[in-house]
Amino acid sequence: MRTTTPRCCLMLTAAGSLIAAAASLTPAGAQDACGAAPEVPTHHHLPANAETVHWGYFSQQRAPQLFVHSGDLVTLETLTHHANDDAERMVEGDPGAESVFAWSADAKGVDRRGAGPLDASIHGRGAGEGFGVHILTGPIHVCGAAPGDVLEVEILDLAPRPSGNPEYAGKTFGSNAAAWWGYHYNDLIEEPKPREVITIYEIDASGARDWARAVYNYRWVPQTDPYGVVHEIIDYPGVPVDHSTITRNHPILSGVRVPIRPHFGTMGVVPREADVVDSIPPAYFGGNIDNWRIGTGGTMYYPVAVAGGLLSAGDPHAAQGDSELAGTAIETSLTGLVRLVLHKEGSLAGTPLEGLDFPLLETEREWVVHGFSYANYLADLGETAQSDIYGNSSVDGAMRDAFRKMRRFLMTAYGLSEDEAVSLMSVAVDFGITQVVDGNWGVHGVLEKRIFTAE
């Protein structure tokens, strides 16, 4: 059955062809590109276009698009991979998006989409097979970063990317796909079953209005891509939707204002376990965590797994609920301003980051640990991890992992005994369901900082 098609069928073997696909600057040249750290931090700008993004995977072999020193600022453009659900609103007139989504009968702006084979020999969906779907800007090589270090990413701002189409000046749009990988898909009550539905939302591009509204929705119908492949379901990212084939329903969700919570759905460093990794399942290296708290004012800490760390970000969201139930958020292009700070392994002892082996979020008021069905599915599930993870999704597993991580954090960061940590967790820590749609499902534990006084 189509709905049980595995998202990814890769073994943990190298996909050498990626090297050819990447730009000419390879990690071997990293030291030269770093040079000495300047006295004043540099503010970089990394745009999103067909050259600076990679689509659907993390890879050690993808050449860095930027070299930064600890303390540098980066204005980081990110694009939603759902922009072609309504290209008129989310692609047209935006040169960066147009370059990424370009797709004619002869060529694509970005060919590989996913960690699958470039020749689409498994399902024939397209290069990369859509085993991984997120447009990721980067990676960013952090000079001096080495395995064992921790990379801090402070999110100073996240702004909606205005529509490039003059007809929609001052507006930003996003797409919510209730898709075949959604939690609801095999559990529908209305006919026809199953079905995939795209809902287009509108956001105020100035950021002044703190809510989104639905504009219209439509049911997915088979789409033929420019290469002639028919996509019966949403099985390959960036397929242009021919709006002459679909029926727009409106008004919908009348009077509904969705509070916006802009965040990066996906941000992380490159894992060490495989050369090319599907962007969908999150794990110790971060990635597609899909926690709406990873927004402005939030600071992420990632354990560095490869030289340079190689940070990428994308999958920008205007709003998402805990669980991301239907499979996606309001998928909306955003531009972030982030500060990157490298914490060398030798400096971590006695700090909350000591021995950190998972992605940790700090906000003004909270610490948030991230648990997953498998803490490191790439190692835990062996050579077939990237396909097997989709059959082993479990909130129960993620809760177990989140419990262990919160206990460890309380004992490390605040010096509690296990008995103190367990009691405090029971009376004061909230565990929530991050997502149930990314293969490696997530549970987060939220600890309020105000609990700890200087007393």
The C-alpha torsion from 12 through 14 and 17 to 18, rounded to 10°, is 80
**Cβ-contact 131, 15 below 8 angstroms:** no
Q: What is the DSSP string of 73-112?
A: EEEEEE--TTGGGGHHHHTTT-HHHHHHH-B-SS-BSS--
* 32: contact with a copy of itself by CB under 8 A: no
* 366: contact with a copy of itself by CB under 8 A: no
Conformation bin of residue 14: beta by default, left when phi > 0, alpha when psi is -120 to 50: beta
Q: Which stretch binds a copy of itself (CB under 8 A): 118-126, 137-145, 151-159, 393-401?
A: 393-401
Q: Other C-beta atoms within 10 Å of 166: how many?
A: 8
**Cβ-contact 34, 143 below 8 angstroms:** yes
Choose which of 139, 309, 327, 359 interacts with a copy of itself (CB under 8 A): 327
For a copy of itself, the closer of residues 57 and 218 by Cβ is 218
Choose which of 65, 78, 199, 266 interacts with a copy of itself (CB under 8 A): 199
Q: Which stretch binds a copy of itself (CB under 8 A): 154-162, 226-234, 378-386, 424-432?
A: 424-432
- Alpha-carbon distances of 47 from 18, 95, 416, rounded to whole Å: 22, 11, 44
Q: Which stretch binds a copy of itself (CB under 8 A): 136-144, 224-232, 377-385, 431-439?
A: 431-439
C-alpha span between 81 and 172 (Å, rounded): 15
| SS3 state at 137 | strand
**Cβ-contact 4, 181 below 8 angstroms:** no
Choose which of 41, 71, 93, 432 interacts with a copy of itself (CB under 8 A): 432
C-alpha span between 237 and 231 (Å, rounded): 10
C-alpha span between 116 and 127 (Å, rounded): 7
* The pairing of beta strand 211-219 with beta strand 258-259: antiparallel
* 419: contact with a copy of itself by CB under 8 A: yes
For a copy of itself, the closer of residues 169 and 451 by Cβ is 451
C-alpha span between 310 and 149 (Å, rounded): 13
Residue labelled with tokens 């129960």: 396
Cβ 133 to a copy of itself shortest distance, Å: 16
Residues 213-272 that bind a copy of itself (CB under 8 A): 214, 217, 252-259
- Give the x-and-dash track for 261-280 against a copy of itself (CB under 8 A): --------------------
Q: Which helix (H) or strand (E) holds 410?
A: helix 395-413
Q: What residue type is 438 in one-letter code?
A: D
Cβ 420 to a copy of itself shortest distance, Å: 5
* 417: contact with a copy of itself by CB under 8 A: yes
Choose which of 10, 425, 439, 440 interacts with a copy of itself (CB under 8 A): 425
* 323: contact with a copy of itself by CB under 8 A: yes
Q: What residue type is 211 in one-letter code?
A: W
Choose which of 23, 107, 169, 188 interacts with a copy of itself (CB under 8 A): 188
For a copy of itself, the closer of residues 31 and 247 by Cβ is 247
Choose which of 100, 276, 319, 413 interacts with a copy of itself (CB under 8 A): 319
Q: How many residues bind a copy of itself (CB under 8 A)?
A: 69
List residues binding a copy of itself (CB under 8 A): 176, 178, 182-184, 187-190, 197, 199, 201, 212, 214, 217, 252-259, 319-330, 394-396, 399-400, 403-404, 407, 416-420, 422-433, 436, 443, 448, 450-455
